[in-house]
Amino acid sequence: MFRTRQRHLAIFVLTLSACLPSRAGTENPRFTPLVRAVESCRKFVVNIHTEKDAAEAADSRFFTPRSRRVSGMGTGIVVDERGYIVTNYHVIHEVDTITVTLDDGETLSARTVSFDRKHDMAIIQVQASRPLQVMPIGTSSDLRLAEQVFAVGNAFGYEYSVTAGIVSALGRDVEVDETQSYENLIQTDASINPGNSGGPLLNVVGEVIGINVAIRAGAQRIGFAIPIDDARKTISRLLSAERLDGVAHGLFGRDIKTPEEKKLIVTDVAPGSAAAVCGIVKGDTVTKVRGITVHDAADWERSLLGMPIGSELDVDVLRNGEPVSLKLKVGVGHSSAKTAATADSTNTRTVSSVQSSSASPESVRARAKRLFGVNLANLNQRDRNTINGRFNGGMKVVSVANGSPAERYGIQVGDILLGLDGFETLNDRSLAYILQDARLQNLKTVKFQVFRRNQSLVGHMVPTTARQ
């Protein structure tokens, strides 16, 4: 009997040990693909903290050193290894300082690069000590109701919070107030809280399929995200090399997003442009630029952004199914500010800053004087040394007209104008883009940032007119 009980015990122990998960390597069933995907997302998700003056201070006509500060929070997603990060515009709207915390705890100051009010998206940039990991791009083209999704973000300041849910609905149009509405949103019951804005909505394999943007006030588990396919079109505009650097490329393309492939098809090439000189033709599929895999127009734009004029970039395309290697020379050829008659209606375009810079620098500065009452000049070496390491550049305020908007709202002679309306004022070319009628005609006020006595100051002013 003792032997029988001993045999039964041995069988029970063996059976139990067979049921227990292995602790070695990736065989542990606890480490599911989902767990690994969520763990890896920390490398491309950042936490954002902001500060700004309280309403009573921000509305003041003049700067005051005794303003009360208000803190905010949000989340961002790395879209380029050089520190370009996408978030919601409302996260950085009218803030004075932006601080980004990376997954390893490194805290960095960020600057606003560009934004789109209507679509509530913005690009900020940090100068990280290492290349950052870029988001893995999914597609929102094949989302299904009840598909499992996960939201990651800085919820109520609790960094890298992960919540789970399903896709509750697709194609939602949401009106927040009289100034902000959204179209074609993903509705999810994954908990989204203040601080989640700008963070990723992930599928079960860790791909970004949406950008969390809003919640339904007073409701439980009703959140909304911008579909990633829509978001990437906006990102391509915000990262446009032509818009930010004033360097035209002349390529117009259409994003193809399916579960099987993500690619950029060339729909038109501006004659005489850099893309035409390179040898890119209509119908090509752009696959790589300087080693960066091109999934869509956003990848194409970021691959050209910040490249020195005259540099040659390796460009790989597929033409009639065959690989072709080309060389694109940055800054050659004509502006791409033409209408491509054959381009698809969904083609993402950028407004050429070059088209406005055909006028002389004096006329651009005269426009700034007429609109705001400031005379601007290029920085000298001493001015550049003053802001070196803190800002990329600016323009010196050499005079302020009596009774002008600049005087009324506190700009002084000697200030360094760092930016207008969220864009850096680095030179006449960037100023020309900012002061276009098409940009200013719908703005009631223009945010400005100046550097004065070792301090960055932010305010708002109303231009005299936005028309020629």
Q: What does the alpha-carbon distance between residue 424 and residue 241 come to, in Å, rounded to a whole number?
A: 14
Whether 59 is a known active-site residue: answer no
Q: What does the alpha-carbon distance between residue 13 and residue 231 come to, in Å, rounded to a whole number?
A: 55
Q: Report H helices in 112-227.
A: none
User: How far lies 331's CA from each of 121, 253, 277, in Å?
Assistant: 28, 19, 11
Whether 353 is a known active-site residue: answer no
Whether 49 is a known active-site residue: answer no
Q: Looking at residue 179, what DSSP letter applies?
A: S
DSSP E strand boundaries for 302-356: 312-319, 322-329
> Which is the catalytic residue, given 197, 236, 240, 335?
197
Dihedral pair phi/psi, residue 427, rounded to 5°: -165, -175
Q: What does the alpha-carbon distance between residue 143 and residue 134 come to, in Å, rounded to a whole number?
A: 22
> Which is the catalytic residue, given 80, 120, 296, 383?
120
For 272-286, give the DSSP string: TSHHHHHT--TT-EE
Place of tokens 């004029």: 309
Q: What does the alpha-carbon distance between residue 402 and residue 416 come to, in Å, rounded to a whole number?
A: 19
- From 312, 260, 253, select the one nearest 285 (Cα to Cα): 253
> Which is the catalytic residue, given 90, 119, 249, 295?
90
User: How many CB atoms neighbour CB 277 within 10 A?
Assistant: 17
User: How many CB atoms neighbour CB 136 within 10 A?
Assistant: 15
Residues forming the active site: 90, 120, 197
